[in-house]
Amino acid sequence: MINSPNPSDKGKNANRVRRTKKSQDKIVRWEQRLVQIQRVSKVVKGGKKLSFRATVIVGNQNSQVGVGVGKADEVSTAVKKAVNDARKNLIKIPLTKGKTVPHNVIGIDGACKVLIRPAGPGTGVIAGSSIRIVLELAGIQNILAKQLGGNNLLNNARATIVALKSLKTPQQVAQERDIPLEKIFSYNK
């Protein structure tokens, strides 16, 4: 299809193809946020070799998120490496209709422990440090999270990813237990 209504019009848009609405919907917007840049050093024979470590979180705000780390001699190179690492380590999260998690979950990485609880509509994202960034980029809108243990930004982000990985939908639980879905929601003993 030609963009111009008149085929004899030889303007600069004459050969341009019109994009349909469906093709524009398939374009995924990945958002990335830089959590931390640290100057790290390695002791070598001639003294200390300085480099930079970048921690980046990438997400599409539609239940996909990843955490990446990159090290390089320059900050910009470290950030690029971290973004590539985060895209390689993407996870998919099951969300409810209220844009929250299906159940309580705890994630542990290193000395960091993260507690994540579902929340009602209108609550917002109640979380601190890098946990908040991970949850926002995952597209979660109503959630309560608490950082327990260590205060390391990278380990907190990784602990959040561990917690989100362990989430299960009621359908998955019913399939694992070989019981009907109705039995999971029934409260009769």
pLDDT digits (tens, 9 = 90+) for 110-129: 899 999 999 999 999 999 88
Structure tokens at 47: 């003294």
C-alpha 89/C-alpha 122 separation (Å) is 30
Q: What's residue 183's pLDDT? A: 82
Residue 3's pLDDT band (boundaries 50, 70, 90)? low
How does strand 91-92 pair with strand 64-72? Answer: antiparallel
pLDDT at 174: 87
Q: How high is the pLDDT of residue 1? A: 47
> For residue 109, what are the CA distances in angstroms to 37, 115, 152, 163?
20, 12, 10, 10
What's the pLDDT score for residue 105?
Answer: 95
pLDDT of res. 154:
94
For 35-66, write each residue's pLDDT tens digit: 999 999 999 999 999 999 999 999 998 889 99
Asked which of 37-41, 167-171, 178-182, 183-187 is least confident by mean pLDDT, the reply is 183-187
> pLDDT at position 186, please?
75
User: Between 154 and 27, whose confidence is greater?
Assistant: 154
Look at the alpha carbons of 125, 120, 156, 51 in this order and tell me if their dihedral is positive or negative: negative
Alpha carbons 125 and 139: distance in angstroms, whole number = 10
Quickly state the pLDDT bin for 173 (edges 50, 70, 90): confident
Other CB atoms within a 10 A radius of the CB of residue 26 amount to 6
Is residue 19 a contact partner of residue 35, using CB atoms and an 8 Å limit? Answer: no
Q: What is the pLDDT of residue 13?
A: 56
Phi and psi angles of residue 14, each rounded to the nearest 5 degrees, phi first? -65, -35
Mean residue pLDDT of the chain comes to 86
